[in-house]
Structure 1
Amino acid sequence: MNKKILEILEFDKVKSQVSQELSTSQGSDELENLTPITDKVRIQRWFDELSEFALVVQENGAVPLSNTADLTEILRRIELDASLASQEFAKIKKVLRLANETRRFFEQAVNVSFPVLAQTLDKFVDVAYLLGLLQVIDSAGALVDTASDKLFSLRESIKKSDADVRKILSEILSKSQSSLTESIITMRQGRPVLAVRSDSKNKIPGVVHDMSASGQTFYIEPNRVVALNNDVAQKRIEEKNEVARILRELAERIKPHVPDIRQNTWLIGQIDLINAKYRYQLATKSSVPSISEHKAIKLYAARHPLIDPKKVVANDLIFDQNLDTIVITGPNTGGKTITLKTLGLAQLMAQSGLPILAEIGSQVGIFNEIFADIGDEQSIEQSLSTFSSHMTNIVKILDAVDTHSLVLFDELGAGTDPKEGAALAISILDYLKSKQAKTMATTHYPELKAYGVESERVENASMAFDLAHFRPTYQLVQGVPGRSSALEISRRLGLQAQILEEASGFLTEDEHDVNVMIASLEAKNRDMTASVNKIRTLEKDNYLLYKELSKSLETFTRDREKELNKARIEAQDIVKVAVDEADSILKNLKDKSLLKPHEIIDAKHQLGELAPNLVDLSQNKVLKKAKAKRGLKPGAEVLVLSYNQRGNLIRLAKDGRWEVQMGLISTKLSEDEFEPIEPEEETKKTKTKAVKKTVSTGIRAQLDLRGTRYEEAKKMLDDYIDQALLANLHQITIVHGIGTGVIREMVRDYLQRSRHVKSYEYAPQNAGGSGATIATLR
């Protein structure tokens, strides 16, 4: 993309707006190097990354980005084996830590997928090793005491000696107040000294390091601490050398990893730039456009990004594939130039991967070059007139233009004789049309109105003017040429009627008819625009509703899958307990020689198969289709899901539910409340019965105690529970009736005290209510 168009359309000012949303120096570098490109695949990737990033942030909060330093020079010096200060290592550490936190943020992101963005995130290099090395640098950029044993020993020794010096000086201070001008310990030439009066300098023997300007104070290092301070000075030199050695060794160990550090710093810049784009999108209420296949441009409610948001006027601009040229005619006021710049800048932003200031659903094309001749380019140095200057620029554009170009002309043909200028403008537009370039031009020549009407793949447009308030509205009206309102405006401003009448007489009949036609078109266009705006508002509302519903459905499905898998896990645990108990029972039976070994193994295998497997719930549609194909008919055996009991279908009721008989209980159930038992399952049941025959003689999942006496009912219940446990029944139903309530209370008391009963409750109303109790066995 030529640099001149970036200057004309002030693309750098847009980048400056985006830069305010950046956090890192790496992101600033990425934005500085950002320019429009022509690779459609790469542009689409940028858009996809931005859209996915927005979803991640909306679901998981802001990405933990923070201010970082530029490491370019630091890393180069490491490669050159130059010495680095500890503060420079601290800058490296901060960047690597930020890279780690950023990577971890996306790894822990929930409720959203980001396949395109993940391809960038996967390029992060694991820097745990380097962060481990840099633990010797603290947050302030200093080398920690424990960086080496020697450094620790030296610093501890220095601290102790410093403390001894302070203690001795404090003792001298307390005993020699009369000899001092100040009761403090101060520093001179890096040594702790006392401020001694000049007439008392012999009372505190020591080394004089300085004297006040007045000569009244001598700064003396007492002899008692000279040796200690000398020792401290020597140890500080050793400490400095040890620090240099450690930092040099640290640089050597980091040097092989410099490419990885560069990779991570670049990725931080990428993520920071995407984050800045997203924040800019929110701040400006912009959107990510789609990319057309045939250079079509559709901008809905497009705004110029450099105009005050409170003053800017939004315009629809439709430049579809059936159009080569749009000619905006009419007076010189009203925002024609801003419309040109809005179109050009939207394209530059889109081809740079930036969101554009237009509504959702907008579309952009991909152009290899964008050319513009906008503004006054008169050159004093070259003694060129305005017309000559513009024409020089236009010649350069026409020499370079091709079918993949977008051309913007402001006041094409202006600055010369109107008839010649209009003829030149039409010829230039025809030439660009022959090149199949997309062209938008503004002009005030009336001849181009006819050109827009009579020429194929050319459309007229104009800027609306509010005659009632004598001001431009800055609204683009496509399909309607501009009309001059000079006479009308003059009349309303009070120009004499005689002058207006004479001026009107100079206009031809055709010109009168054209103005009437344009006024009619404007009225029709207003009505059509109002209708289109209503439709687009409905489309936008429907789109937002669709997004909300899609998100809600996704959340519901995800929560449902979690709960169902949780239930299956609990069921597996329950069955595991049952299998363990069955192991114990079968072991006892084996000891009693009631079963053969191979029969025990077979029975245990069948018990183990009771555990439900966790499944991918996305495959449930297949299961539902299989269930629908099986068909249901009276007499078919089914498994009632809520009771985990078998029953038989009796008849299909009018309300669509089936009447199901479970022992003595009959109830109505919908098809999703039971599962048909396949014939192959029936075969398995027969085999299972052959194994269980020696354990239980056809034990049913229901016990009927109605009509029995208290003691008899209690014994029957006790025996039945034992048989149910041996038969590995998970849930049983005890029918006791209502009656006087004696048998019912006995049953509930027994179940409450039994260690084999996990829980119990009255049956549902359609299955016996308080006349039956359903118990779940351990």
Structure 2
Amino acid sequence: MNNKILEQMEFVKVKNLFAVYLQTEQGEQELAALTPMTEEKKIKRAFAEILDMEAVFTEAHSFGVGQIQDISVSIQRLQADADLDLTELLGIKHVLLTAADLKRFYADLENVSLTELQRLFEDLTVFPQLQGSLQAVNDAGFIEDFASPDLTKIRRQLRQREAELRQLLQDLLKKQAEFLSEKLIASRNGRSVLPVKNTHRHRIPGVVHDISASGATVYIEPRGAVNLHEEISRLQADERYEIQRILHDLSQLLRPHTASLLQNAWIIGHIDLVRSKYFFLRDYKGTVPSVSKDKTIHLLAARHPLLTDPVPNDLQFADDLKAILITGPNTGGKTIMLKTLGLAQLMAQAGLPILAAAGSKIAVFRQVFADIGDEQSIEQSLSTFSSHMTQIVAVLNKADQDSLVLFDELGAGTDPKEGAGLAMGVLEYLRSLNIKTMVTTHYPELKAYGIMTDFVANASMEFDQDSLRPTYRFLQGVPGRSNAFEIARRLGLSDTIIKKAEELTEMDSDANSIIEELEKQTLESRRRLEHIAEIEEENKKFNRAVKKLYNEFSHARDQELLKASKQAQEIVDRALSESDEILKNLREQSALKPHEIIAAKGRLKELAPAEELSKNKVLKKVKHSKAPHAGDDIVITAYGQRGTLTKQLKDGKWEAQVGLIKMTVGEDEFTLAKNQTGKQSSKKKELKVVKKTNRSSSPHARLDLRGKRYEEAMQELDAFIDQALLNNMTQVDIIHGIGTGVIRQGVTQYLRRNKHVKKFAYAPQNAGGSGCTIAHLG
């Protein structure tokens, strides 16, 4: 599609109406690049996506995708083997979480059948391990302590040294108060110092960092604080190095999945764009048109999207109709009608809803051309007529039978007779090529051309004879009637002058009478169509109400069935219990044989068979909502840290990724964290859970030392045990393999020396045997 028509129709302004509904940068980029399409299959697919989104909102009124940033630059850096910073990792984390939320939303979606969006939801890829690892990146933009055992240890030591420094300075504030100019701890050159009176500067030994402007105060770093400051500086450097290492490790984890991450981001942005199309359709009362198999255009109550309170108009442009000629006075709305048709076609071919009523139909054109308004070029010294003819010639050279041509004031700017002749010549040329054309004109000769020529129709814009103002209502099949004499008469011009003018112009009164009668018939037909449209709208409202009531009834029925089944089960259980007692008495009295008792109990159970509830939507939803799934974010109840479930193991156990550590947890050892749209409760609440949690039920972690060098393995083991103790774990698994036995022996010696290890032993044969040691901590 040529860019000139997009500029003439102000297509960018139309797209801005959709931009206000977008939540993602990916959606904004796709909307900015959106242009009309020429492939019918793609257009129909875009329309089907909007209808799918409408069905989604019927079931889930608050559906959203969340705000995510463009990650394309971050992905390019990953592909170039660069490490990402915190902001970039946070952007990818939000994409992963949003993809998981959308996948979960689609899995829980009921009573909705999707045709096109189903493919998008299913193509989303969930990465539980990556989600769990990126939990180490806090939404505030910093690395959590649990990101690695070394970072946990460094920050613990850092907090201890900072506390010691504060305590030291507080003690000096109390003991040396008489030597201080102020009882406070100041800061100079990144060091905590005391403001000492210059006269007593030798009473507090230490390093002088600054002197006040008056010279009365000396800022001294006490000698005891120097070593602590040095230790803090060293730990801060270690912290920075460890954070860089963590960022490198997280980048390495993401690097193999760049293609899937980009696909996820595109799908999220595309769903966001489809969502914005639905909101536009809903708020502007638009519609998704159908696509005609030929070149038929059928617009009902079409409106211009950039006008405030536009007048809706119907337009019938059948396949065999080649040209529509709109005649009438200026300011009547002819040009607006021309632009309304052009914009409806461009919006529809771009896969956007149009401002029209249900039942509208559009065609597919490879090109849309227009010559609208005065494009006089001062630089080229072209007159209005020359400018128009230049544009018309350019259009005629490019247009074919797959084009739609829109001409405003065809043939204007020159002698009326010559202009009318040129206009008819251009129309005849376009008609001979089967090119659909809409033209506005003032020339009365074109009215006769429209009546006398096959496959050409007249049209006009309605004019109110009482108020002498245009109504902006489109009248198809009725040529524009001259109102000049009537307007002049109502404004007080002498009848003598008007009669003389009528005689000089040889006005055909019969033609005007025919036009007037056609206007009346058209208006009557329009009133009937509007009445039919009102009835159709009432029917739609009734159908929506019935559908809503049906859904509510279906939901209530499922709940009642669930309730009734529980009551029935209670009755059956009570009856079986009583029957057991009766049968027991009978057996004791030898009234029945054992096999007869068993048969009797079976017949009793058959009297009230268990109801099949697998199709009960309420029960299904309750069960589904409580069951954990791979990819769910969780909170480890033992110590309040967030992670992500990566896969389900046997016996109700799960593997979870918490930062860079893998854990094995039971379903009673974690709670499901809420998704992005509903955040989990604050950390304070999570810590309360920790205090109430029994240590014996805490999860245990695994450490795999296979393939490590001895020194590296012992360092990792020390950090791992330290982390496990900090996280209040009671059991850990250490996988060392058998091999030469060096690492296994080192693990045994380390565990024997560690006073926090209560006991340890090799794992059972089915869990690794002598290649794995299980240690119990306390």
Which residue is equivalent to 1:88?
A: 88
CA contact (8 A) 2:405 2:436 kept: yes
* Closer/same/farther in 2, CA of residues 191 and 561 from structure 1, 3 Å limit: closer
* Separation in structure 1 between the aligned mates of residue 493 and residue 352 of structure 2, nearest angstrom: 51
- TM-score, normalised to structure 1, is 0.73
Residues 134-143 or 562-571, more deviating: 562-571
* Separation in structure 1 between the aligned mates of residue 159 and residue 16 of structure 2, nearest angstrom: 51
Q: Which letter maps to 2:278?
A: Y
Which residue is equivalent to 1:296?
A: 296
How far did residue 175 of structure 1 move? 3.9
Which residue is equivalent to 1:336?
A: 334
**Residues 96-115 of structure 1: pairs in structure 2 closer than 5 A:** 96-115=96-115
- TM-score, normalised to structure 2, is 0.73
**Residues 454-469 of structure 1: pairs in structure 2 closer than 5 A:** 454-469=452-467
CA contact (8 A) 1:43 1:351 kept: yes
* Separation in structure 2 between the aligned mates of residue 561 and residue 207 of structure 1, nearest angstrom: 78
* Separation in structure 2 between the aligned mates of residue 605 and residue 308 of structure 1, nearest angstrom: 75
TM-superposition CA deviations, 1:324-382 (whole Å, max 9, x none):
21110111221111111111111111112211111222222222111111111111222
How far did residue 571 of structure 1 move? 7.2
* Closer/same/farther in 2, CA of residues 160 and 41 from structure 1, 3 Å limit: same
Match 1:357 to one of 355, 361, 368? 355
**Residues 250-399 of structure 1: pairs in structure 2 closer than 5 A:** 250-309=250-309, 312-399=310-397
Match 1:499 to one of 474, 497, 500? 497
* Closer/same/farther in 2, CA of residues 42 and 592 from structure 1, 3 Å limit: farther
* Separation in structure 2 between the aligned mates of residue 224 and residue 610 of structure 1, nearest angstrom: 83
Which residue is equivalent to 1:145?
A: 145
CA contact (8 A) 2:408 2:441 kept: yes
SS at match of 1:136: coil
How far did residue 470 of structure 1 move? 2.4
* Separation in structure 1 between the aligned mates of residue 99 and residue 598 of structure 2, nearest angstrom: 59
Equivalenced residue count is 615
Which residue is equivalent to 2:129?
A: 129
Which residue is equivalent to 1:528?
A: 525
Which residue is equivalent to 1:513?
A: 510
CA contact (8 A) 1:571 1:611 kept: no
Which residue is equivalent to 2:537?
A: 540
Q: Which letter maps to 2:268?
A: I
Which residue is equivalent to 1:404?
A: 402
CA contact (8 A) 1:347 1:365 kept: yes
* Separation in structure 2 between the aligned mates of residue 351 and residue 390 of structure 1, nearest angstrom: 27
SS at match of 1:544: helix
* Separation in structure 2 between the aligned mates of residue 606 and residue 40 of structure 1, nearest angstrom: 65
- 1:163 equivalent in alignment to 2:163: yes
* Closer/same/farther in 2, CA of residues 240 and 558 from structure 1, 3 Å limit: closer
How far did residue 590 of structure 1 move? 14
* Separation in structure 1 between the aligned mates of residue 357 and residue 251 of structure 2, nearest angstrom: 52
Residues 494-503 or 576-585, more deviating: 576-585
How far did residue 245 of structure 1 move? 0.8
Which residue is equivalent to 2:440?
A: 442
SS at match of 1:183: coil
* Closer/same/farther in 2, CA of residues 444 and 192 from structure 1, 3 Å limit: same
CA contact (8 A) 1:335 1:474 kept: yes
* Separation in structure 2 between the aligned mates of residue 146 and residue 364 of structure 1, nearest angstrom: 59
Which residue is equivalent to 1:710?
A: none
Which residue is equivalent to 2:76?
A: 76
How far did residue 482 of structure 1 move? 0.6
SS at match of 1:23: coil
* Separation in structure 2 between the aligned mates of residue 522 and residue 256 of structure 1, nearest angstrom: 70
* Separation in structure 2 between the aligned mates of residue 441 and residue 52 of structure 1, nearest angstrom: 37
* Separation in structure 1 between the aligned mates of residue 360 and residue 485 of structure 2, nearest angstrom: 39
How far did residue 87 of structure 1 move? 3.0
How far did residue 592 of structure 1 move? 7.2
* Separation in structure 2 between the aligned mates of residue 398 and residue 472 of structure 1, nearest angstrom: 33
How far did residue 65 of structure 1 move? 2.8
Q: Which letter maps to 2:370?
A: A
* Separation in structure 1 between the aligned mates of residue 56 and residue 250 of structure 2, nearest angstrom: 37
CA contact (8 A) 2:151 2:243 kept: yes
* Separation in structure 1 between the aligned mates of residue 349 and residue 435 of structure 2, nearest angstrom: 18
* Closer/same/farther in 2, CA of residues 483 and 616 from structure 1, 3 Å limit: farther
CA contact (8 A) 1:572 1:611 kept: no
TM-superposition CA deviations, 1:413-472 (whole Å, max 9, x none):
111221121111112122222222221110111111011111122111111122322222
* Separation in structure 1 between the aligned mates of residue 191 and residue 597 of structure 2, nearest angstrom: 95
TM-superposition CA deviations, 1:19-62 (whole Å, max 9, x none):
01111112112211221112222222222221222222232221
* Separation in structure 1 between the aligned mates of residue 515 and residue 184 of structure 2, nearest angstrom: 93
* Separation in structure 1 between the aligned mates of residue 381 and residue 5 of structure 2, nearest angstrom: 24
Which residue is equivalent to 2:736?
A: none
CA contact (8 A) 2:286 2:355 kept: yes
* Closer/same/farther in 2, CA of residues 178 and 561 from structure 1, 3 Å limit: closer
* Closer/same/farther in 2, CA of residues 546 and 151 from structure 1, 3 Å limit: closer
Q: Which letter maps to 2:476?
A: Q
* Closer/same/farther in 2, CA of residues 238 and 509 from structure 1, 3 Å limit: closer
* Separation in structure 2 between the aligned mates of residue 326 and residue 549 of structure 1, nearest angstrom: 42
Q: Which letter maps to 2:4?
A: K
SS at match of 2:34: coil
* Separation in structure 2 between the aligned mates of residue 196 and residue 64 of structure 1, nearest angstrom: 60
Which residue is equivalent to 2:428?
A: 430
Which residue is equivalent to 1:770?
A: none
* Separation in structure 2 between the aligned mates of residue 338 and residue 150 of structure 1, nearest angstrom: 70
TM-superposition CA deviations, 1:56-107 (whole Å, max 9, x none):
2232221243222221111221222223222321222122212222222232
* Closer/same/farther in 2, CA of residues 145 and 599 from structure 1, 3 Å limit: closer
* Separation in structure 1 between the aligned mates of residue 295 and residue 311 of structure 2, nearest angstrom: 25
TM-superposition CA deviations, 1:509-563 (whole Å, max 9, x none):
53x3222221222122222211221122112222332343355446546765776
Match 1:470 to one of 460, 468, 471? 468
- 1:174 equivalent in alignment to 2:174: yes
Q: Which letter maps to 1:480?
A: V
**Residues 644-659 of structure 1: pairs in structure 2 closer than 5 A:** none
* Separation in structure 2 between the aligned mates of residue 40 and residue 573 of structure 1, nearest angstrom: 60
TM-superposition CA deviations, 1:100-142 (whole Å, max 9, x none):
2222223222333324321211111112221111111122121
CA contact (8 A) 2:586 2:592 kept: no
Task: Please provide the CA RMSD for this pair.
Answer: 3.1
* Separation in structure 2 between the aligned mates of residue 616 and residue 436 of structure 1, nearest angstrom: 61
* Separation in structure 2 between the aligned mates of residue 613 and residue 387 of structure 1, nearest angstrom: 83
* Separation in structure 1 between the aligned mates of residue 383 and residue 341 of structure 2, nearest angstrom: 28
**Residues 668-683 of structure 1: pairs in structure 2 closer than 5 A:** none
CA contact (8 A) 1:87 1:142 kept: no
SS at match of 2:194: strand
* Separation in structure 1 between the aligned mates of residue 407 and residue 434 of structure 2, nearest angstrom: 16
Unaligned runs of 5+ in 1: 619-778
Which residue is equivalent to 1:421?
A: 419
Which residue is equivalent to 1:14?
A: 14
Residues 607-616 or 154-163, more deviating: 607-616
Percent identity over the alignment is 44
CA contact (8 A) 1:579 1:604 kept: no
* Separation in structure 2 between the aligned mates of residue 98 and residue 338 of structure 1, nearest angstrom: 43
Point out which structure has higher relative CO (alpha carbons under 8 A, 6+ apart): 2
Which residue is equivalent to 1:36?
A: 36
CA contact (8 A) 1:60 1:110 kept: no
* Separation in structure 2 between the aligned mates of residue 293 and residue 560 of structure 1, nearest angstrom: 44
Q: Which letter maps to 2:230?
A: N
CA contact (8 A) 1:334 1:464 kept: yes
Q: Which letter maps to 1:349?
A: M
SS at match of 1:439: strand
How far did residue 607 of structure 1 move? 7.9
